Amino acid sequence: MRTPLAMIRITALVAALFVAVGLAAPAFAQDEVTIAKQGWSFAGPFGTYDKNQLQRGFQVFKEVCSNCHSARLLAFRNLAEEGGPEFTEAQVKALAATYTIADPDAAGGKRPGIPADRWPGPDQSKADLEASFGVVPPDMSVLAKARSREDKFPFWILNYFTAYAEGGPDYIHALLEGYTEAPADAKNPDGTPFKLPDGKYYNTVFPGHVISMPPPLSDGQVQYAPGPDGKTVPLTVDQYARDVSAYLMWMAEPHLDSSHSAGFEVIAFLLLFAGLMYFVKQRVWRNVEH
């Protein structure tokens, strides 16, 4: 007879194999673009958001992204909530008041924003944005979860053991840094020479490489104030891309910090409970040959 622990180990392995193989993230040919995993403060079971980074990321979002992208699920009040950028209530109130909210009940159909309001979105209408760019810029509320990157076999199996959930920010960071000139020898999938359509941009990460979004960031574009700890960060595209990717992850998963700490408690409890149950079971069965 096998020992119980060995059986559990086999069960766990078979289950892991089974699940993992099924999830073999479809290896779709994207011309062998590799998107590197970045070191995020919120990665892994013990990860938490870096408040200063989220505040910087929000600044990039507010000054750059939100000119064209909406974020309809974000409410101003979220920006003051625990586990987020944690602006003060007063800051959020002041911020909200700088925006005009359409409200049929208000005199003139418009009023200044309050913290309970949702993010109003860009001034331009969707139709105008589509006319300018050829596409409607996607809403950013859950964008960080709607994008991902893939690992080759067998490395994706590891992702189940490390609880890898940062594919979205990894992708967005790589995309923002992925703008280049089209290579001279670039080919279309059918082998014909590649020509960039007018009004489009070449991006090494974007599927098909032809992206409608102009390169949104440039060095020195967003002026960060020093953080509350007096620290400054470089004003580079890489830094902006990192900060705004972290911010977008928070917008998509605002309760990550509390989930992580709750998960830690739950799993610590389950491990202890499992240990106790093992001894209970051993004691109950001690006089039975089985």
Partner 1 sequence: MDHHTEKFVPKNPVVRWVEDRLPIINFVKPSFVDYPTPKNLNYWWTFGGILTFMLASQIVTGIILAMHYTPNAGLAFDSVELIKRDVVGGRTIQAIHATGASMFFVALYIHIFRGLFYGSYKAPREILWILGVIIYILTVGTAFFGYVLPWGQMSFWAAVVITNIFGAVPIIGDPILELLRGGFGVDNPTLNRFFALHYLLPFIIAAVVALHIWALHVPGNNNPVGVDVKDTKRDTVPFHPFYTMKDLYGLVVFLIPFAWFAFFAPDIFGHPDNYIQADALKTPADIVPEWYLRPFYAILRAIDFNFIIDSKLLGVIVFAAALLILFVVPWLDTSKVRSGSFRPWFKWFYWLFVINFVMLTWYGSVKPDLTLGEMFGFGPSGPPVKDISKLSVVYYFAYFILVLPLLGRFEKPRPLPNSISESVLKTPVMQAAE
Question: What is the C-alpha separation between 76 and 92, in angstroms, rounded?
Answer: 6
How far does the chain reach from its first CA to its final CA, in angstroms? 8
Stretch binding partner 1 (CB under 8 A), from 63-71, 87-95, 216-224, 277-285: 277-285
Question: What is the C-alpha separation between 3 and 282, in angstroms, rounded?
Answer: 12
CB atoms within 10 A of CB 153: 11
Q: How far is the CB of 46 from partner 1 (least distance, A)?
A: 9
Residue 137 within binding range of partner 1, rule CB under 8 A:
no
| Cβ nearer to partner 1, comparing 147 with 209 | 147
Stretch binding partner 1 (CB under 8 A), from 86-94, 99-107, 138-146, 184-192: 138-146
Sequence letter at residue 249: M
Q: How far are the Cα atoms of 65, 81, 222, 226 from residue 235, in angstroms, in the given order? A: 17, 27, 7, 11
Residues in the chain: 290
Residue 259 within binding range of partner 1, rule CB under 8 A:
yes
Q: How far is the CB of 21 from partner 1 (least distance, A)?
A: 5
With the C-alpha atoms ordered 215, 216, 221, 224, is the resulting torsion angle positive or negative? Answer: negative
| Cβ nearer to partner 1, comparing 131 with 270 | 270
CA 2 to chain centre: 44
| Cβ nearer to partner 1, comparing 134 with 278 | 278
Question: What is the C-alpha separation between 57 and 42, in angstroms, rounded?
Answer: 14
Q: How far is the CB of 29 from partner 1 (least distance, A)?
A: 7
Residues lying near partner 1 in the complex (CB under 8 A) are found at 1-2, 4, 7-8, 11-12, 14-19, 21-29, 44-45, 72-73, 78, 138, 141-143, 145-148, 152-153, 159-160, 163-165, 167-168, 207, 252, 254-255, 258-260, 262-264, 266-267, 270-271, 273-274, 277-278, 280-281, 284-285, 288-290
